[in-house]
Amino acid sequence: MCKRFGQFITIFVAAVLALPSCSGRQAQPAYDIAPVLINREEITRAMRSVGAGFEAEVVLLVRVDEEGYVRQVRLASSSGNEELDDAARWIGEQMRFEPARSGGDPVPALVRVPVNFDLVTRASYPPRLRNDRVVVNRIINEYPDLRGRYRVRVKVGPEGWILENRNAEASSDEVMSAGSRLLDDLTFWPAYRGEQRKPAWVILVIRFAGPETRIYIESTDT
């Protein structure tokens, strides 16, 4: 869970650079299509706080599995500040990707992610998905053949539960029904303003795709 210190920042994730997923002796990456970060907007908002007047860059090496989940985060380049390094690792753990592909099949990969810390004045950060992996596994088991996209605006309460939903869209009636039922199972890390939890609206997407099912936050209201 993230720590909060004295002053809030934004975290900007630069373009992801694909690296070989196997031995360092390998000349080319073991995939044709590199991983694509799908929750960039969520993680680039003001999410962490640091000591006043400090700016720096941390470079991460992030190992992404064939389902697009982060399995390992380590430092490639330290900021020289332990608090910033810890913050960057935490950000890396929250990333979600479309997986790398080789010959059309999803494969694990290693990516290099520079994380830049820049001071801002607004002391807030948005909700983040908490149990999405659990719900994804449920979808795979209960809806193995369902395909489609469910998109909805939801209000996340101070305790991390969905309090309200609006403007739901779906690619089919079956997807609409399944997506609506799953909202009751999702939980979040709540939004904060300063030290106070607060309700916040997010655009949530559930992509039903069998083993490649994804749940992610598309955007967050400011």
Mean pLDDT, consecutive 10-residue stretches, the chain (222 aa), reads 39 50 51 81 55 68 91 91 81 87 89 73 68 92 96 94 94 96 92 80 95 90 60
Total-model pTM = 0.51
- For the 126-220 domain, the top CATH level (class) is alpha beta
Please list, in sequence order, all residues whose beta carbon lies within 8 angstroms of the beta carbon of residue 42, skipping any fewer than 6 positions away: 94, 126, 128, 216, 217, 219, 220
Fold classification of 7-122 (topology level)? TolA/TonB C-terminal domain (3.30.2420)
Please give the pLDDT value at position 19.
56
Question: What letters, b where the CB count within 10 A reaches 16 and e where it falls short, cover 191-214?
Answer: bbeeeebeebbbbbbbbbeeebbb
Where does CATH 3.30.2420.10 sit in the chain? 7-122
